[in-house]
């Protein structure tokens, strides 16, 4: 049996050391934990305990103790108990803002530390993800490939259905502020340890938190106070630029506001940011197209179609981006299946925008997106085509459009089976007979049989997906059309 009195004391000692739990709060927290653990009085005497960096072992012990007491959901209860030893949401907000006055990076590091020590930020799970750099022999921009072992795979139809579904659940979505302390239910995990801080973007109330399953270094999420749908517009552009003023170390980006080309939660306006390590930010400049109001407008040498607006006047950048958005939404090009809204009452064209700041120079990236479909590609002409679905079926959101691929957990097992089969020189039919979910991998298997590595194959597919996503391909004709579009609409 777990020594529950000792465990309650250890939790408090850990929180004093790692979460800044105060003197009176410690007495209070210990008593509340003892009540959860059905113990009438605390551990007697001093306990020598060295607090670990991460809370994993304490969660384990706590869940065991709760199971011994007959808990039906020990994880849920363990998170609630960790919520007691984590500073209150208002206290975190207050500390954050006092650190902001000193240094914004100190403030965001504080928020990250609270997330790590409380177990909200799943650092141990994140470290188990597979990750490698994808480089190409022809010198094309490197990409980053990750296989995320903790994230369930969603398909575009689920995401579109969620957008239409009338929300009756509480909280309205996984981003809403009402998640603070929520016990969990449905698709929302227990949120006892969730903490976020208040920020102001474009004059309106927003919050900042760290993603519990960060895909890259310091992956954070900014979300609007109000539960209202994602919208790419002037307000969004101004908000992104305000964000990099507040946190110049970070980039920030928004998913598109359309199903197929967008992110997984379209019902609540939010951005994603973090360290500027996504491949897009390392892309070379391909061509300067124009100078307008002190802003340089360039086409980037990247896989998908990206325009970079660079300048010191953020109002001028936001206004230019707004003009380009209106023109792009309205753009008709039958050959490329671009269609203005009036054509069928549906918006097909939008941007995936990003902002970053170096010194006093703003960089504003517009990835051109289009969700038109045709008979050949009913899942989207400018989306990962069917021949790549074995590797990636989900929509290409902002992180992937910027060159960091987040591939589904199933691939770890599937790719290992394929590698093993190739080593044993099995016939593909034989392998697929025993593992029906390998049916779509015949192409990959042929590569492995030729002696190529699994990574080499995946790297090629990721690159080909971004080529599918490009609304203007990397051909002379398409690049000229891209340039002409920009020039015409700046006149």
* Nearer of residues 9 and 177 to Zn ion, judged by Cβ: 177
471 touches Zn ion by CB under 5 A: no
Smallest distance from Zn ion to CB 199, Å? 17
* Nearer of residues 221 and 318 to Zn ion, judged by Cβ: 221
172 touches Zn ion by CB under 5 A: yes
- Provide the token pair at 274: 């973090």
2 touches Zn ion by CB under 5 A: no
Smallest distance from Zn ion to CB 179, Å? 8
Smallest distance from Zn ion to CB 175, Å? 5
**Which range binds Zn ion by CB under 5 A, 15-23, 260-268, 310-318, 325-333?**
260-268
**Which range binds Zn ion by CB under 5 A, 60-68, 169-177, 186-194, 369-377?**
169-177
Across the beta sheet with 295-301, the strand order is 197-201, 204-210, 220-224, 270-275, 250-253, 349-358, 361-370, 306-311, 295-301, 284-292
Smallest distance from Zn ion to CB 79, Å? 20
The runs of H, that is alpha helices, within 247-397 are 314-329, 341-344
* Nearer of residues 267 and 349 to Zn ion, judged by Cβ: 267
176 touches Zn ion by CB under 5 A: yes
In this chain, which of 175, 252, 283, 407 binds Zn ion, going by CB under 5 A?
Answer: 175
* Nearer of residues 267 and 459 to Zn ion, judged by Cβ: 267
Beta-bridge partner residues of 284: 301
67 touches Zn ion by CB under 5 A: no
* Nearer of residues 254 and 372 to Zn ion, judged by Cβ: 254
In this chain, which of 18, 218, 219, 268 binds Zn ion, going by CB under 5 A?
Answer: 268
Total residues in contact with Zn ion, by rule CB under 5 A: 6
Smallest distance from Zn ion to CB 212, Å? 16
Report the distance separating Cα 398 and Cα 263, nearest Å. 7
Which has the closest alpha carbon to 25: 84, 89, 98?
Answer: 84
In this chain, which of 34, 81, 126, 173 binds Zn ion, going by CB under 5 A?
Answer: 173
**SS3 label, residue 225:** coil
Phi and psi (nearest 5°) for 441? -105, 20
Nearest 5°: the CA angle 113, 117, 123 is: 85
Which has the closest alpha carbon to 206: 165, 164, 236?
Answer: 236
> Interface mask (CB under 5 A) for Zn ion, residues 203-242, using x and -?
------------------------x---------------
Smallest distance from Zn ion to CB 257, Å? 15
Smallest distance from Zn ion to CB 223, Å? 7
* Nearer of residues 268 and 276 to Zn ion, judged by Cβ: 268
Q: What is the DSSP string of 371-438?
A: ----SS-TT-TTS--GGGTTT--S---HHHHTTEEEE-THHHHHHHHHHHHHHTT--HHHHHHH-GGG
* Nearer of residues 194 and 289 to Zn ion, judged by Cβ: 194
* Nearer of residues 172 and 474 to Zn ion, judged by Cβ: 172
**Which range binds Zn ion by CB under 5 A, 149-157, 268-276, 437-445, 472-480?**
268-276
Are 124 and 56 contacting, i.e. CB atoms less than 8 angstroms apart?
yes
Smallest distance from Zn ion to CB 48, Å? 45
**Other Cβ atoms closer than 10 A to 306:** 25
Report the distance separating Cα 205 and Cα 173, nearest Å. 18
Which has the closest alpha carbon to 431: 210, 423, 298, 309?
Answer: 423
Which parts of this chain interact with Zn ion (CB under 5 A)?
A: 172-173, 175-176, 227, 268
């Amino acid at each position: 049996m777990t020594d529950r009195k000792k465990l309650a004391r250890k939790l408090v000692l850990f929180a004093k050391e790692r979460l800044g739990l105060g003197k009176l709060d410690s007495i209070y927290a210990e008593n509340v934990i003892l009540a959860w653990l059905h113990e009438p009085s605390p551990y007697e005497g001093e306990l020598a305990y060295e607090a670990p960096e991460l809370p994993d072992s304490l969660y384990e012990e706590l869940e065991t103790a709760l199971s011994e007491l007959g808990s039906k959901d020990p994880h849920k209860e363990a998170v609630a108990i960790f919520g007691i030893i984590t500073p209150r949401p208002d206290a975190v907000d207050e500390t954050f803002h006092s650190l902001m006055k000193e240094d914004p990076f100190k403030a965001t590091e504080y928020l990250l530390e609270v997330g790590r020590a409380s177990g909200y930020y799943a650092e141990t799970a994140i470290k188990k993800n597979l990750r490698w750099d994808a480089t190409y022999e022809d010198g094309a921009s490197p990409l980053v490939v990750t296989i995320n072992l903790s994230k369930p795979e969603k398909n575009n139809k689920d995401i579109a259905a969620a957008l239409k579904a009338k929300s009756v659940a509480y909280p309205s979505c996984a981003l809403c502020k009402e998640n603070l302390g929520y016990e969990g239910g449905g698709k929302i995990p227990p949120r006892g340890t969730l903490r976020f801080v208040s920020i102001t973007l474009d004059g309106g109330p927003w919050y900042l938190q760290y993603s519990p399953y960060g895909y890259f270094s310091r992956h954070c999420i900014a979300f609007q106070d109000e539960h209202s749908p994602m919208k790419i517009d002037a307000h969004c552009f101004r908000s992104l630029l305000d964000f990099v003023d507040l946190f110049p170390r970070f980039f920030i980006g928004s998913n598109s506001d359309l199903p197929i080309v967008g992110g997984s939660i379209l019902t609540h306006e939010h951005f994603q940011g973090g360290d500027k390590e996504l491949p897009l930010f390392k892309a070379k400049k391909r061509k300067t197209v124009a100078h307008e109001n002190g802003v340089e407008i360039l086409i980037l040498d990247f896989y998908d179609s990206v325009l970079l607006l660079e300048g010191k006047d953020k109002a001028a950048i936001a206004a230019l981006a707004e003009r380009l958005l209106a023109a792009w939404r309205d753009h008709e090009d039958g050959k490329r299946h671009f269609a203005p809204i009036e054509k069928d009452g549906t918006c097909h064209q939008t941007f995936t925008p990003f902002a970053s700041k170096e010194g006093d120079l703003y960089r504003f990236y517009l990835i051109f997106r289009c969700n038109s479909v045709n008979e050949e590609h009913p899942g989207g002409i400018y989306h990962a085509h069917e021949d790549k679905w074995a590797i990636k079926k989900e929509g290409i959101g902002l992180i992937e459009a910027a060159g960091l691929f987040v591939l589904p957990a199933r691939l770890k097992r599937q790719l290992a089976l394929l590698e093993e089969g190739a080593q044993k020189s099995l016939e593909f039919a034989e392998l697929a007979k025993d593992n029906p979910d390998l049916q779509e991998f015949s192409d990959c298997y042929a590569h492995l049989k030729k002696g190529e590595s699994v990574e080499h194959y995946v790297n090629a597919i990721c690159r080909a997906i971004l080529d599918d996503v490009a609304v203007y391909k990397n051909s002379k004709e398409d690049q000229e059309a891209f340039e002409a579009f920009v020039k015409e609409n700046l006149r």
